[in-house]
Amino acid sequence: MRLTVVDAPDQPTPSDELAELYRGFEQELLVPLWTEIGDLMPPHPRSKAVPHLWRWAGLLELAGRAGHLVPVGRGGERRAIALANPSLGGRPFATPTLWAAIQYLMPGEDAPEHRHTQHAFRFVVEGEGVWTVVGQDPVPMGRGDFLPQGGWNWHAHHNAADRPMAWIDGLDIPFQYLTESQFFEFGRDAISDAERITPDRSRSERLWGHPGLRPVSAPAAQTGSPLLRYAWADTDRALTDQLELADEGYPGVLEPGHAAVRYTNPTTAGDVLPTIRAEMHRIRSGAETAPSRQTGSAVYQVFDGSGRVTVGDRSWSVTRGDLFVVPSWVPFSARSEASASDSDSGALDLFTFNDAPIFEALRLDRSSVEGKDA
């Protein structure tokens, strides 16, 4: 261990005695605050992570090659390829707390059953044909579907189609890695024929997918949503409704031209997962969001449309499938810019997930919109 002044302007006058003292600190495994305070206690979060963009086309091409070269099975568990923020030391951390990966399953393939304390979800930007089997309940995955999966639930995947399928996984792997709270168990090596069915709705949706209604037989609050699929048709309609209400002069949208829904746990009305917030935003063609920032980090994926996003001092034109990260306290805004190839609406649909529930639970959340602290 070598003591170095990380970030602190006012330091004691160098002297032999001071050098001797610092050697004593090193021998005794001690580090003074005054040499590191600027790094440890900055005036506001200065993220180690940087804004970065991953193009969907590139991810998909590499994942497709992995489909041919890398088997899926016990041990490796999943053909998942994670975003590694350029400034986080090559670790598979999209941000200091969040994992985001593309997962890829070949026709007829299964991913074996396991469970872990890491909270997870799947989100599908394109494709169909895979069912995620959660607690023996096969859950369909199609474009726009969001599948949350609270920690410690058994789960496997199987591709029932004749084509490969890709989707993104979001988890709190970095957070649990850093705080050292993670457990993992292998499940059965193969799912049963009964779980290999391909229903249109999971059993969880049949129990929990009715607005404002809950089964009287169910226990009260549950950690992680018991609703295992938030189907795109519902999300799409909710966003459309918000924009139409705004057109009629009524409240609902987040700001002009900007609709947004949050996925919630129907047993708590809170976030869908204890450590992860997930939302879908729709920015109308030509609209732009106000720059805002918050403690904690986020990952975005373009679900539909095209536009331009600005993250701190970076700015990119983005289109379907592109993924990018917004580090803590870095301002973010997005503008919808319909292109000729976009769908009729011309809106920019952004799926996003972040770690806000951690900060809210611990009373560490802060945010500001256009410089106005909240």
Map the footprint of a second copy across residues 7-66, applying CB under 8 A. Answer: 8-12, 15, 17-18, 21, 24-25, 28-34, 36-37, 40-49, 52, 54, 58-59, 62, 65-66
70 binds a second copy (CB under 8 A): yes
Nearer to a second copy, 58 or 339 (CB): 58
274 binds a second copy (CB under 8 A): yes
| Residue 184 near residue 121 (C-beta atoms within 8 A) | no
Nearer to a second copy, 128 or 365 (CB): 365
Region from 123-131, 206-214, 302-310, 332-340 binding a second copy, contact rule CB under 8 A: 206-214
Identity at 282, one-letter amino acid code: R
Query: Which candidate, 292, 344, 281, 342, places its Cα nearest to that of 317?
Result: 342
265 binds a second copy (CB under 8 A): yes
Nearest approach, Cβ of residue 228 and a second copy (Å): 10
Q: Please report, as residue ranges, which positions from 133 to 172 form the binding site for a second copy (by CB under 8 A).
A: 151
Q: Please report, as residue ranges, which positions from 88 to 117 form the binding site for a second copy (by CB under 8 A).
A: 90-92, 96-97, 101, 116-117
219 binds a second copy (CB under 8 A): no
241 binds a second copy (CB under 8 A): yes
Identity at 51, one-letter amino acid code: P
Number of residues counted as binding a second copy (CB under 8 A): 142
367 binds a second copy (CB under 8 A): no
Nearest approach, Cβ of residue 172 and a second copy (Å): 9
Nearest approach, Cβ of residue 340 and a second copy (Å): 28
Nearer to a second copy, 334 or 342 (CB): 334
Region from 154-162, 299-307, 313-321, 358-366 binding a second copy, contact rule CB under 8 A: 358-366
374 binds a second copy (CB under 8 A): no
Q: What is the DSSP string of 141-207?
A: EETT-EEEE-TT--EEEEE-SSS-EEEEEEE-HHHHHHHT---EEE--SS--GGGG---SS-HHHHH
Considering only residues 328, 336, 345, 354, which one is a binding residue for a second copy as defined by CB under 8 A?
A: 328
Cα angle vertex 318, ends 142, 238, to 5°? 45
Identity at 96, one-letter amino acid code: P
Q: Please report, as residue ranges, which positions from 174 to 203 form the binding site for a second copy (by CB under 8 A).
A: 175-185, 203
Identity at 312, one-letter amino acid code: G
| Spatial separation of the C-alpha atoms in residues 357 and 366, rounded to whole Å | 12
Residue with tokens 């295992």: 228
Q: Is the dihedral of CA 345, 129, 298, 253 positive or negative?
A: positive
3-class DSSP state for residue 141? Answer: strand
Query: Which candidate, 368, 373, 374, places its Cα nearest to that of 333?
Result: 368
Nearer to a second copy, 51 or 342 (CB): 51
Nearest approach, Cβ of residue 282 and a second copy (Å): 11
Nearer to a second copy, 165 or 273 (CB): 273
| Spatial separation of the C-alpha atoms in residues 36 and 7, rounded to whole Å | 5
| Spatial separation of the C-alpha atoms in residues 236 and 164, rounded to whole Å | 25
CA 105 to chain centre: 20
DSSP state of 14: P
Give, in order, the Cα–Cα distances in Å from 365 to each of 31, 297, 328.
29, 11, 11
